[in-house]
Chain A
Amino acid sequence: MKLLNKRNIVYTCVIFALFAGCVAAWFFIRNSEVEEAFAVIYKNSEQVQSVDLSSETSEYQISVGSAETGINIILIKDGAIGVISADCPDQICVHTGFIKNRIVPVVCLPNKLEIRIVSGDKVHGVFDAVAR
């Protein structure tokens, strides 16, 4: 019974190296998961539509609202979402531009519309929250 011969020690090292490699790979995969960008459009406090920006490859527009409640035209393109035209007086929503992270939402207060990226733990890279 010579379990501790040279060959067995090599085998043991190889097996443990494989085990360590599996653990390292598990950690790497867990920490490098691509964060999804999932946008939710709210109108009058209610969710009207959600868009998975990370899987959208086509470019398209959504019209939200009516003449009575105010109309915002929203464009989804290149993994980002933004308002391209609105009948509100201040046009802040249009000037906000396109968003693809949770730093700031697109807000149209006159038309009670808000677009917010809601998925992921981190707001943008390292940030847990952004004061504004």
Chain B
Amino acid sequence: MKIKFLLLSGFLFLFCGCQWFQNVPNQPQPVTRTEYALGTIISVRVNHASGEIADSALDKAFSRLFEIERITSAKLPDSELFFINQNAFESTVIVSEELFFLLKSGLTYAELTGGAFDITLGSIVDLWGIGTNNARIPSQSEISKALENCGFEHLVLNEDEFSVRFLKEGLKLDLGAIAKGYAADEMKQVLAENGITSAVLDLGGNIITIGNNAGNGWIVGITDPLIPNEICAKLHVYDKTIVTSGNYERFFMYEDTRYHHIFDRRTGFPSDSGIISATVITDVSMTADALSTAFFVLGTEEAVKLTENLSGIEYILIDRNLNFSISEGIEVEIIK
């Protein structure tokens, strides 16, 4: 009797166990890929039950990224943007529809922000050389001269023939402040079109998310601008992009002064608006990229005023005294 019972119990045990393991859903597994592009590290993590589908989607998304880099890089000698910078003063240059869209978007953001965001500051960026071996503090006369060659009003776009023309000889375009955002939007779209419903993309610190993470929101930290190895705030997001502009990413120190890479067109110097970290949370990463730069340059008061006329834009602004200005539409947990 006892043996029969034990056999019966054992069978029941195995049966239940098999049923239980069978009922465990086919869990999505994370697949991460990291590549170097647009002058930074791009890391994408997708969650999908099929590694094959995840790999295929990642292949296509990264191909798209490299396509965008070949168009928008100001440094690659064979890029479309490089060609424009070399030739658009001498003659009208016909460009691809994609680059035209980016330039037009750049002008729209410049007008929206009163020039706080400006894609024509290439001469100032080159002059300071921040983040390169040639980083230095230029003389005031050099800065004044370079500023004469800046300004989005000197860039003329013709939508009928997708052409570009510079009205100033030294004008130089730099799409660094929107290219990563645009690439993030495009990679997100490619992943979504290829069956990915859950992913987080990190383009050199620009974050964009797809869907949710196993039913929960994605938990995104905001870098502490004073101690960049640490986090100062966190938020939960679904299908959002989070872009931060800070003075701690590219800079050099001279006599206790930090010279960083976000320039104020009005002065030709690194922006000194009081903001040391500007984060924008919205749906379109290119918009977040442009506005985070603009907010950094504008300062808290003007940035907040600007958002009053915009919808769907949330922000976290941190000034040099570590005062946080946070929009009402987003829940943020301040960690310190």
* Chain A positions near chain B (C-beta within 8 angstroms): 3, 8, 11-12, 15-16, 19, 23, 40, 42, 45-46, 70, 88-92, 96-97, 99, 103-105, 109-110, 114, 116, 118, 121, 123-124, 126-132
Contacts and interface: CB of A to CB of B under 8 A. Distances in A.
Interface residues of B, number: 53
B104 interface: no
26 contacts: A8-B5, A11-B5, A12-B9, A15-B13, A46-B36, A88-B133, A89-B135, A90-B131, A90-B135, A90-B251, A92-B250, A92-B252, A96-B228, A103-B231, A105-B41, A109-B131, A126-B234, A127-B219, A129-B220, A130-B222, A130-B223, A131-B206, A131-B220, A131-B221, A131-B244, A132-B244
Given A129-B221, A131-B244, A124 B16 contact: no
Interface string B202-213: 100111010001
Contacts of B45: 121, 128
A109 B248 CA distance: 13
Given A15-B13, A96-B228, A124-B231, A116 B221 contact: no
A90 to B, nearest CB: 4
Interface of B: 5-6, 8-10, 12-13, 16-17, 20, 30, 32, 34, 36-37, 39, 41, 43, 45, 130-133, 135, 200, 202, 205-207, 209, 213, 218-223, 228-231, 234, 242-244, 246, 248-253, 279
Nearest to B259: A90
Task: Count chain A CB atoms within 10 A of each CB in B206, B219, B242, B244 and give the residue with the most.
Answer: B219
| 3 cross-chain pairs, A with B, having the tightest CB-CB distances, nearest first | A132-B205, A45-B36, A132-B223
A51 B8 CA distance: 52
A71 B320 CA distance: 33
Nearest to B8: A3
Nearest to A101: B229
B30 A131 contact: no
Interface of chain B: mostly helix, strand, loop or mixed: strand
Contacts of B205: 130-132
A127 B133 contact: no
Contact of B6 (A11, A104, A124, A130): A11
Contacts of A105: 41
A90 B209 CA distance: 33
Contacts of B135: 89-90, 110
A60 B253 CA distance: 29
Contact of B220 (A109, A114, A127): A127
A110 B6 contact: no
A97 to B, nearest CB: 6
Contact of B30 (A23, A42, A121): A121
Contacts of B8: 3
Given A8-B5, A42-B41, A129-B242, 14 more contacts: A3-B8, A15-B9, A70-B133, A92-B250, A103-B221, A103-B229, A109-B39, A110-B133, A118-B34, A130-B231, A131-B242, A132-B205, A132-B228, A132-B249
